Amino acid sequence: MEKSGRAAFEFLHAHGAIVTPTDLKFHDIAGFRLQTDELLDEEWDLMVPSPGVPLDLPAIVRATARGVNVVGDLELAAPYLLGPAIGITGSNGKTTTTSLVGHILRYAKTPVQVGGNIGTPVVALTETSRKDQWNVLELSSFQLENINTFRADVGVCLNVTRNHIDRHHTFANYAAAKANLFRTQRAGDFAVLNSDDEVCRSFAEFTAAQVVWFRGRDIGDLMPPEDVPIPGVHNAENVMAAAAVAEIAGISKANIAAAVRTFQAVEHRLEFVAEIGGVRYYNDSKATSVDATLKAIDSFAGKLWVILGGKDKDSDYTPLREPLRRKAHAALLIGSAADKIASHITGATDLIRADTLDCAVAETWKRAKPGDTVLLAPACSSFDQFQSYEHRGRVFKELVNGLHTAGLETTNGATA
């Protein structure tokens, strides 16, 4: 039972409900019972699965058929969340864009709180929400797949590429979950959509909201591209999406540009860790899909050592072949997806079977030369060897920062 589950338990308990928290492993929480089919088949008025729990789990399907109200944390919070909501979704860039919108609004002295799929769960935000305060929410497909009453005053979709097929089974199902953010909107709301993304464009056909388009290539209309402090073409898209949202919230372009200039990349998202012996290390543990890894690789000129692998999400890794061929000295493969990744990219670049992250970092220390870059951009989820992508990123940073004990000159950096 992770953050969202605990937050839902505390929320329901605070509202006077009799709550039975459950998980497959034991937790020291009042009223806790180990999760079994027999427990889930008991008579419940309400069932709140954590976002990571598939809704096609047989016991949940049976509960729905019995008339049990099965809702996610987003739907649970909806009636209690005061103030306008900005819902931000997309296959890649959600965390950066959500953090950037929050940063811009704070810079402009506009009341705001940030949470959802990052930081504070939505149900926990209800306690601190106010009618005069914006709620900026990162929203995943898992959170959106069964909403009915949650409505975003401003809905944002950055892009939709193949991801989480292990959970949604088909790309169409995955895209439909993202689309729900716009299906529940009303006239007077805003749908902020990437005009360069085919699936995003399709969302405009059925939303009742006013559509506001953005494009990364229009970054020069806001500020000189070289002034954007986070690298990569994809981050130009994230900045333009955030700027569109901020303008809707009443922030001037001048204030938006000034705020962007002071923004630093979020942890685990193209985060500069250190330079050791002339080799720069970047942590992009948040790159849990092939498309996110492609964007990470695209942010560098070349001379890369790319660490790939983790738990497969029924992904196709062949799109990595060409950028790896052009830009990488080698790919270092870790985790349970290593065999599949190898079969998809063999011949594109040298492959190093490292198996674990600590071995991968050790291999780069032995092999990389001054001017090279080591990039953790796994293209996979972390759940085979780590608790989360954050855990994986923290371990990577600890391993990298531990290399200085070898006596090499280390320059620690802020995020880049």
Cα–Cα distance between 92 and 120 in angstroms, integer?
Answer: 20
Whether 164 sits among the annotated catalytic residues: the reply is yes
- The first and second tokens of residue 367, run together, are 């092999």
- The first and second tokens of residue 365, run together, are 């220390």
Catalytic residue among 103, 163, 164, 268: 164
Catalytic residue among 92, 94, 178, 295: 94
Question: Are 239 and 222 in contact, with CB atoms under 8 Å apart?
Answer: yes
Whether 234 sits among the annotated catalytic residues: the reply is no
Work out the angle at residue 55's Cα, subtended by the Cα atoms of residues 52 and 58, and round it to the nearest 5 degrees.
120
3-state secondary structure of 224: coil
Residues forming beta bridges with residue 211, ordered by sequence position: 191
Cα–Cα distance between 26 and 24 in angstroms, integer?
Answer: 7
**CB-count burial class (<10 Å; 0-12, 13-18, 19+) for 171:** middle
Catalytic residue among 92, 103, 117, 180: 117
Cα 252 to Cα 97, 107, 229, 359, 391, distances in angstroms:
18, 11, 19, 49, 38
Whether 401 sits among the annotated catalytic residues: the reply is no
Contacts of 249-253 with CB under 8 Å at 24 or more apart are 249/86, 249/105, 249/110, 249/134, 249/154, 250/110, 251/104, 251/105, 251/108, 251/110, 252/108, 253/222
Q: What is the DSSP letter of 265?
A: P
Cα 404 to Cα 84, 361, 409, distances in angstroms:
47, 13, 7
Residues serving a catalytic function are: 94, 117, 164
